[in-house]
Amino acid sequence: MQSKPARLNAMTVDVEDYFHVSAFESVIKPSDWSTISPRVGDNTHRLIDLFNEHNIKATFFTLGWVAEHCPDVVKRIVDEGHELASHGSNHRRTTTMTREEVFEDIRVSKDKLEQASGKPLLGYRAPSFSINETNEWVFDILVELGFKYSSSTYPIEHDLYGVPDWPRFSHKRKEGIVEIPVPTVRKNEKNTGIGGGGYFRLYPYWLSKRRIEKYMGSTTEPYNFYFHPWEIDPKQPRVEGAPFKSKLRHYVNLHVMEKKLNMLIKDYEWSSMYETYKDVIDGK
């Protein structure tokens, strides 16, 4: 039997429900959320079961909203040895808020998650990777609130996020916090995303694996992967009235995501974000 490569990589989950996503924000408002039955709890429990089956640990970047509505999920994440981190309070992109609103959004999420789990948080991921050259002050807020690392940037061209010329690898920023970007590969002097999400669902697994192998062959940097609990839920309700492009991105290949995820888990070594990057996070 072929053994797994020795390199440790980070498995991460952005814990949000299907109705929280930025793709549907034009048709589903936060005021509608209380009228919708959550599915994020059951889906996240399924993921924890899957990770436990393969004996791997992951980082769960979790909304404060989830801590409030599904505290059992948050408690189970930490009770079973996974890392809990913040994804903000209500999945509002940081680019849509003032500095004061961002501070409160992140502070409240941290408080709710720490109260639900009984554990301090080290990491944060901005919804939709929404830190860019217009709001680098978010890093100052993270330092003020006691975070040690962020994974909030994706150095690609994208209509919702991305700063293509920002660093591709983990680094300590001038504010004092470590930033861990989503992985990319370079071709023709352009970055292409390989970190998960819609790209992973769209492409056949052999192609995703080839791109990951290219990344691993060109750097000693760990690889980190992200996805969402709703991506293993092909029976989720269909949202009416959303733009065609948004629906295409959200629903493509949901029915094969869990199978691909199983293959990915088996092919590489995985742990949490902190365990994978702890030397750079701790400054060693």
pLDDT value of position 160: 60
Please check the confidence at residue 15 and state whether its pLDDT lies above 80. yes
277 touches 170 (CB < 8 A): yes
Predicted confidence at residue 1, as pLDDT, reads 43
Tokens 């890392």, located at residue = 83
**Which ranges in 219-269 belong to alpha helices (H)?**
244-251, 254-267
- pLDDT tens digits, residue range 213-249? 999 999 999 999 999 999 999 999 999 888 888 888 8
C-alpha distances in angstroms, 281 versus 88, 105, 133, 177, 277? 20, 23, 23, 8, 6
User: What's residue 192's pLDDT?
Assistant: 76
Q: Which helix (H) or strand (E) holds 13?
A: strand 8-15
Q: Where are the domains positioned within the chain? A: 8-281
* Chain mean pLDDT for the chain: 92
Residue 11 makes CB contacts below 8 A (sequence gap 6+) with: 51, 56, 57, 58, 59, 224, 225, 265, 270, 271, 272
pLDDT-derived band at 186, boundaries 50, 70, 90: confident
Question: Closest Cα partner for 222 from 178, 161, 159?
Answer: 178
Give the rounded percent of residues in the chain with a pLDDT score beyond 70: 95
Render pLDDT for 72-118 as a digit per residue (tens, 0 to 9): 999 999 999 999 999 999 999 999 999 999 999 999 999 999 999 99
CATH number for domain 8-281, candidates 2.40.50.100, 3.20.20.370, 3.40.640.10, 3.40.50.720? 3.20.20.370
Count the Cβ atoms, other than its own, within 10 Å of residue 250.
21
Residue pLDDT, tens place only, 44-71: 999 999 999 999 999 999 999 999 999 9
